[in-house]
Amino acid sequence: MENPRFRQEQAETLAALGMEVIDAPITDVVERLNGLPFCFTLQCCYGHFLYGSQQDPNNLNKLRRHDPGMIRYRIAYIALCIEKSSAGAALYKSLEKIQEIDPEYVQFGSADWFWERNPSSFVLQVEPERFKYQDDALLGWQEALHIEKIRSLFFDELRALCDVFEPTSTGATRL
């Protein structure tokens, strides 16, 4: 939808963004998306696995290769505000296609509470479909391993998407 305050909201959000709070494995994705003139990030998370003695909510380690019992997964996601423009529409369509990685584990949509603060905001997340309205999920080890793989593909797809949309040296966007 048209948002006459898009540029102002973009400038304010980017000025307040502290890259030190972004999970290290995805700082490049956030920086690259925020470099696009027709979108900006609102929130994001790499996704974290907590289990047994590993209860650090910011854990970035790979899952162990043996079953530690039930695992609490804190979702991987990125929330973006997208400008109503031809480039914004193309980005939207590309983001929507990322669900094809695994439709049972990747969702794209709009959260009401984001939209109320930032019109034209969308969320792309890695979460089992049955938990898509929750911030975390309790999973078995095999499913957690699957999510870890999907999460990696998810952020790789976002990086590839940035390659397509990043401005060229002349300032034009590659589309």
Q: pLDDT tens digits for 10-33?
A: 899 898 998 889 999 999 999 999
User: What is the tens place of the pLDDT at every residue in 34-55?
Assistant: 999 999 999 999 999 999 989 9
- 7-to-79, 84, 92, 156, 174 alpha-carbon distances in Å: 17, 11, 18, 28, 21
Mean pLDDT, residues 131-145 taken together = 95
Residues whose CB falls within 8 Å of the CB of residue 9, separated by 6 or more in sequence, listed in order: 3, 40, 81, 118
Q: Is the pLDDT of residue 170 over 90?
A: no
Query: What is the band of 4 on the pLDDT scale with cuts at 50, 70, 90?
Result: confident
Can you say how many angstroms the Cα of residue 77 is from the centroid of all Cα atoms in its chain?
3
This prediction has a pTM of 0.89
Mean pLDDT, residues 130-158 taken together = 96
Domains recognised in the chain with CATH numbers: 6-165 (3.30.1960)
Name the strand (E) or helix (H) holding 137. strand 136-139
Residue 119: per-residue pLDDT? 75
Residue 169: per-residue pLDDT? 46
Residue 172: per-residue pLDDT? 46
Which residue in this structure is represented by tokens 């047994």? 52
Give the relative orientation of helices 86-97 and 141-165 as an angle to the nearest 10 degrees: 150
